[in-house]
Structure 1
Amino acid sequence: MSIVFLIIIGAAAGFVATRLMRIDADIVTTVAIGIFGALIGGLVLRVLMALTGFAAGFVGAVLGAMLLIWLYQTFLRHR
């Protein structure tokens, strides 16, 4: 999966992940969370994506964004 595709999917995944985790974030933060989450999820789920296609890529992007939100809330926000 190309980096450009992960960025596009990441923007949508960031929106979904922030809504699922009930995070009130601005647009730039939401897109950044989605992009970095998509990169994380895309790298972790590369084998799964090869087997099942686009749906696994989107699920991986959302899960990666949710992981990044959790890490942010746990380690960075409370400082």
Structure 2
Amino acid sequence: MTVVWLLIVGAAAGFLATRLMKIEADIITTVVIGMAGALVGGLVLRVLLSVMGMAAGFLGALLGALVLIWLWQTYVNK
């Protein structure tokens, strides 16, 4: 999975993650969180779960976005 693909998947994962975490964020924040989460989570999980292939990238993107949203809510958005 290329970095470009992770960014595209990340935009979708950011949208899904903000809905799962029930936060209201503007579209730019949602996409940035998702893309950053996709890069971090997707690359880490792809290395750890290389057997799963593309599913590992999406799962990593979603988990990465969820972690970044949690960190953002905990430390930045007080």
TM-score (norm: length of structure 2):
0.92
**Aligned-residue RMSD, C-alpha:** 0.9
Partner of 2:15: 15
Amino acid at match of 2:41: G
* Residue ranges of structure 1 left out of the alignment (5+ in a row): none
Partner of 2:31: 31
State the alpha-carbon separation in 1 of the partners of residues 15 and 58 from structure 2. 12
State the alpha-carbon separation in 2 of the partners of residues 45 and 55 from structure 1. 10
Structure 1 runs (4+) deviating above 6 angstroms are none
Partner of 1:51: 51
State the alpha-carbon separation in 1 of the partners of residues 32 and 14 from structure 2. 7
TM-score (norm: length of structure 1):
0.91
Partner of 1:40: 40
Q: Deviations over 1:28-65 (max 9, x none)?
A: 111001000001101211221x2112222111100000
Amino acid at match of 2:19: R
